[in-house]
Chains A and B, each alone.
Chain A
Amino acid sequence: GENVEQHPSTLSVQEGDSAVIKCTYSDSASNYFPWYKQELGKGPQLIIDIRSNVGEKKDQRIAVTLNKTAKHFSLHITETQPEDSAVYFCAASKNSNYQLIWGAGTKLIIKP
């Protein structure tokens, strides 16, 4: 079945530096790729998503890139701030069932 692998499991970066989290999916029919951020004590929240007809999408300091040939997509956070510290989840879904297949999560730590 569909599988989404997410790396790294933990990422520690200096405040102000950039962070990149990568996900690889197995089902070539996947066409929707959201990213969710989970802050401590809260549920995940959608921060950005991308569809397969687009290669890149930006929203202020965050961006997502998609490489359909290689079947991977990445989350880029620039000029990291303390409030970026959280667990980030990637996911993938396709039109046949719209079910999200989740990555295992990345704990992002921003060092002051």
Chain B
Amino acid sequence: DSGVTQTPKHLITATGQRVTLRCSPRSGDLSVYWYQQSLDQGLQFLIQYYNGEERAKGNILERFSAQQFPDLHSELNLSSLELGDSALYFCASSTGQAHSPLHFGNGTRLTVT
């Protein structure tokens, strides 16, 4: 068990809709990362937060947004969903220190129909 909790585990929605994915980081970790993994694809980095502030941004679409709250949990909002947004979305957490290991949750599987 990584200590990172993601909810929900599965999400099925229609095109054009908006969803929110939630992540609770491992106790003591200040940094949260969001990744997208499409079928048989690698890990695409979306965004990183550290102690509530955005630290790095990757290939995140403008239709997607995220935030980290004062209690350090994070939410990833996906809007105007398209079929191509169907994927596994992983949250990971770390202390945020140099080269600290990432601890991944088990992901949210999003299916857009």
Contacts and interface: CB of A to CB of B under 8 A. Distances in A.
Interface string B71-92: 0000000000000000000101
Interface residues of A, number: 22
B105 A99 contact: no
Nearest to A9: B40
15 contacts: A43-B4, A43-B106, A46-B101, A49-B99, A49-B101, A89-B42, A93-B99, A95-B98, A98-B99, A99-B56, A102-B42, A102-B45, A103-B42, A105-B42, A105-B43
A42 B103 CA distance: 11
Interface of A: 32, 34, 36, 41-46, 49, 51, 89, 93, 95, 97-100, 102-105
- At the interface, is chain A mostly helix, strand, loop or mixed? loop
- At the interface, is chain B mostly helix, strand, loop or mixed? loop
Q: Which 8 A-B pairs have the closest CB atoms?
A: A43-B104, A32-B99, A104-B42, A46-B101, A105-B42, A102-B43, A44-B104, A43-B90
B41 to A, nearest CB: 8
